Amino acid sequence: MGDHEAPVGGNDLSGTVHGHSVQAGHVAGDVNLNVLPSPARQHVIPYEVPPLSARFFNQVDVLARLDALAAPGRDVPVGVAVLQGLPGVGTTAVIRHWAERKRALFRGGQLYHDFAALREGREGADVSEAAGQFLRSLGVDEPLIPDSLHERAARFRSRTAEQPLLVVLENVSRAAQVRALLPRGPGSVVLVTFGGDSGELGELSVDAQLVYVDPLDAASALRLLTDRCAGAVAADPAAAARVVELCGRLPLALDIVAGRLRTARSLTLARLADELADATHRLSGLSVGRSRSMTAALDLAYGALPPATARLYRLIGSLPLTALDEPVVAAAADVDLAQARAQLRELEALSLLEAAGDGRHRVHDLVRLHARERAEREDAPASGRAALARVLDHYLRLTALADRAVRQDRLRVADLADVLRDVPDPFAAPGGAAPLTWLEAEYPNILGVLRAAARVPGLQVPLWQTAEALTVLFLHHRHLGPWLESLALGAAAAAEAVDPAAEARLRSLRSRPLLDLGAPEEARAELAAAVACAEVSGHTVLRASVQEFLGRCLEHHDLDAAMAAYRSSLALNTAAGEERGAALAAYFLGRAEDAAGRPRAALATLRDARDRLAARADHRMAARATLAVGLAHDHLGETDAAVRALTTAAEALHTMEAYSYEADARAALADLRSRTGSGPDVVRPLLTRALEVYEAYGSPRADAVRARLAELGPA
């Protein structure tokens, strides 16, 4: 037997046999064996990446980053990218769209494997099977495929050495799964979607680019919805825009609602928007059948979390936090900072949190709803309440420290000596955060926690204490709506806790944003209650402070009564030895004197107040006194002195981030300049800056400034 062909005889057997062996019952005569080669099997170039079944929209930046992976002259022969994004954001669609666009680049073909089967326990889903699948796709006969993963990976590299290849690996959970399947051919690209833990992602990122896929922008999301159900969008574009936002601009969610609109003839976009607006039913509204739903997509990621991180995920759903840093996570979960950091990384690796540039993590609305549903299903209500109490205590400590870092000698009713004892002060540490910057970033979280705490018995005291401390932010950055709400929550909590001093303080403070919002009657009602509570408290400095606030309210309709209130405040502060309070009362008295048509007397009072405030290093209030001095000079016709004082005040207030008062100074300076002959090129920048601040803080003064700018005409 050998490599030749022979006629085969005996027992009526004859013919030609292909192969390396012949079996015959009887052979007679001369034998010549010549085995012919098997017919060649034609190799088909594999293009295994599944096609898109619907139009693709936007993600221009992501596609550009993938284009760079395949660009000629790159530093590495094989480009590797890991695409990350929220469940439902469309990472798979991005890959499939790019693969179709770039098909001509990959002469060796396109290979595809989904590792999700491994997590579901199906046979043949590990990396060895993936390597075997790829070798078969590249034309390697089954008998020639090695048994071991090591040999399969080596054979795969040899087989892919000559031509560029695209390899797509979805739902990877281990870095080793990618390393074993890296092709060797120059110009090859490997695209990965990841579903493992943060450690594996960190290991993988050493050799790969991480490409984050964001939700669609509003215009692209609306185009996607229009493409899927154009008639419904054309009939009600306003409702369509609402639906787009309620879907979080996630392609999966938009595809689901489009499917519902196409199949339920009685469903309109307006009805759908109203349904999704109810947060308790939003996720159930984003489903078509059992498997195609936002809940299913989020469940898949949630199921990959370790138990401790899954618990944190559920706590995030139960807490009103829009952004998370490591300290608040540590407080919520009752763990140390190292554990909080590790759990945040695990959530980020599965794209359940998005890392922000400021070191915090943001939570998508649909992720939060899913986490809340899991918490309601798996945890006792007491778990969420305990976490809320820990987070409230955390914010009380930090807000109080920030308040004291801005100004130590401010009136505070809350006695926080025990609360702050042995607490590290992050604002005093070298390189620590600026207190107002931290408060500006965190106040939406703090306000959300105050709202939630108002519904939980037993949290009234830390609630009003936090509201009092948070006022320091709003004194500098006058977010009037949030300030008003935080003080209302604090005053109600103080009343519930039967603490008249706290209630007097918070109600008197609340008169400030009410006056700024043009609601003097409501301000007077708050102050009437504050005066009564202050008298009951017997707190002399508090009584003086309430009289000061009362005077500021009375200024709007009775200047004589206002000046009487200021004099009362001045006397009470002086009797209590409260120098700063006395200086503040003098400042407000001087302003009232100026408003009453006595600018010369006002100048003397205001200069005295300014000097006393400056001596106490209260530069912010001294700058406000300088602003009032400038106005008094203007009323006396002393233009040069008025311009100097107003300019000095505006610059100082800007430096100290007292932007609302800076805007007042610039608006006053613009009015003075306009009246004294300055042209639009001088006046317009002053009004533009004032309008920017007023609009940012929701001040009703914005309308008047906007009108004045319009009168100046175009720039």
pLDDT in tens, 622-642: 999 999 999 999 999 999 999
Q: Report the Cα–Cα distance between both ends of the chain, in Å, rounded.
A: 99
Confidence of residue 6 (pLDDT cuts 50, 70, 90): very low
- For residue 117, what pLDDT is reported? 61
> CATH number for the domain including 316?
1.10.10.10
- What's the average model confidence in pLDDT over 475-488? 94
Q: Domain check: are 207 and 64 in the same one? A: yes
Q: Which residue has the higher pLDDT, 36 or 659?
A: 659
**Are 35 and 69 part of one and the same domain?**
no
Query: By mean pLDDT, which of 381-385, 406-410, 547-551, 592-596 is the weakest?
Result: 406-410
DSSP string, 48-94: -SPPPSS-----HHHHHHHHHHT-TT-SSSEEEEEEE--TTS-HHHH
pLDDT at residue 304, as a whole number: 87
pLDDT at residue 601 in the model: 95
Q: Which amino acid does the sequence have at 566?
A: Y
**In terms of DSSP bridges, do strands 292-293 and 287-288 run parallel, antiparallel, or are they unpaired?**
antiparallel
The CATH number for 167's domain is 3.40.50.300
The sheet carrying 209-212 orders its strands as 110-114, 166-172, 188-194, 78-84, 209-212
The pLDDT of residue 600 is: 96
**Residue 420 to residue 418: CA distance in whole angstroms:** 6
Predicted pLDDT at 124: 38
What's the confidence (pLDDT) of residue 502?
Answer: 98
Residue 64 lies inside a defined structural domain of this protein = yes
Residue 343 lies in a domain: yes
Distance CA 160, CA 365 (A): 44
For residue 407, pLDDT over 60 is answered with yes
Name the nearest CA neighbour of 559 among 522, 602, 594, 523.
Answer: 594
Q: Please give the pLDDT value at position 4.
A: 39
What is the rounded distance in angstroms from the CA atom of residue 178 to the CA atom of residue 35?
43
Q: Are residues 143 and 203 in the same domain?
A: yes
Q: State whether the Cα torsion 317-323-325-328 is positive or negative.
A: negative
- pLDDT beyond 90 at 168: yes
Model confidence at 404: pLDDT above 90? yes
Contacting residues for 330 by C-beta, under 8 A, at least 6 apart: 336, 337, 339, 340
What is the residue-averaged pLDDT of the chain? 89
Q: Are 277 and 253 contained in the same domain?
A: yes
Whether 227 and 260 have beta carbons less than 8 Å apart is answered as no
Give the pLDDT confidence of 427-446 residue by residue, as tens digits.
998 888 899 999 999 999 99
Within a domain: residue 227?
yes
Same domain, 227 and 142: no
> Does position 507 have pLDDT exceeding 70, yes or no?
yes
pLDDT at residue 298 in the model: 92
Does residue 616 lie in a domain region? no
- Same domain assignment for residues 98 and 168: yes
Res. 32 pLDDT band, cuts 50 70 90: low
Same domain, 525 and 410: yes
- Sheet strands side by side (includes 354-355): 323-324, 361-362, 354-355
Question: Total domain count for the chain?
Answer: 6
Which pLDDT score, from 0 to 100, does residue 602 have? Answer: 96
Nearest to 512 by CA among 539, 550, 540: 550
What pLDDT is attached to residue 42?
A: 63
Q: How confident is the model at residue 694 (pLDDT cuts 50, 70, 90)?
A: very high
Rounded-to-integer distance, Cα 649 and Cα 652, Å: 5
Assess whether pLDDT exceeds 70 at residue 23. Answer: no
Cα dihedral sign for 113, 116, 119, 122?
negative
User: In angstroms, rounded to a whole number, what is the distance separating the alpha carbons of residues 341 and 325?
Assistant: 9
In a shared domain, residues 359 and 418 = no
Is residue 257 a part of any domain in this protein? Answer: yes
Among residues 124, 128, 51, the alpha carbon closest in space to that of 93 is found at 51
What are the residues facing 371 on neighbouring strands? none
Establish if 609 belongs to a structural domain.
Answer: no
Task: State the average pLDDT over residues 277-288.
Answer: 90
According to the model, what pLDDT value does residue 457 have?
95
The pLDDT of residue 8 is: 39
Structure confidence at residue 290 as a pLDDT band (50, 70, 90) = low
Considering only CA atoms, which of 181, 139, 182 is closest in space to residue 43? 139
pLDDT at 330: 97
Q: Is-contact 419 396, C-beta < 8 A?
A: yes
Res. 226: pLDDT tops 70: yes
Per the model's pLDDT, the better-predicted residue between 660 and 356 turns out to be 660
Summarize pLDDT for 548-584 with one digit per residue, the tens: 999 999 998 899 999 999 999 999 999 999 999 999 9
Please check whether residue 132 lies inside any domain of the structure. yes
* pLDDT tens digit sequence for 170-222: 988 888 889 999 999 999 999 999 877 767 777 877 778 899 999 999 999 99
- Measure the CA–CA gap between 613 and 622, rounded to whole angstroms: 5
329, 283: one domain: no
Residue-level pLDDT at 29: 56
Mean pLDDT value across residues 304-319: 94
Query: pLDDT value at position 17?
Result: 45
Q: What pLDDT score does 70 carry?
A: 85
Three-state SS at 149: helix
Residue 582 lies in a domain: no
Spatial separation of the C-alpha atoms in residues 462 and 499, rounded to whole Å: 12
What is the extent of the structural domain holding 162? 60-212
DSSP string spanning 679-710?
Answer: -HHHHHHHHHHHHHHHHHHT-THHHHHHHHHH
pLDDT of residue 41: 55
Question: 390-428 burial by CB neighbour count: b if 16+ within 10 A, else e?
Answer: bbbebbbbbbbbbbbbbbeebbbbbebeeeeeeeeebbe
Main-chain dihedrals φ then ψ at residue 434, nearest 5 degrees: -70, 135
Domain match, 313 and 278 both: no
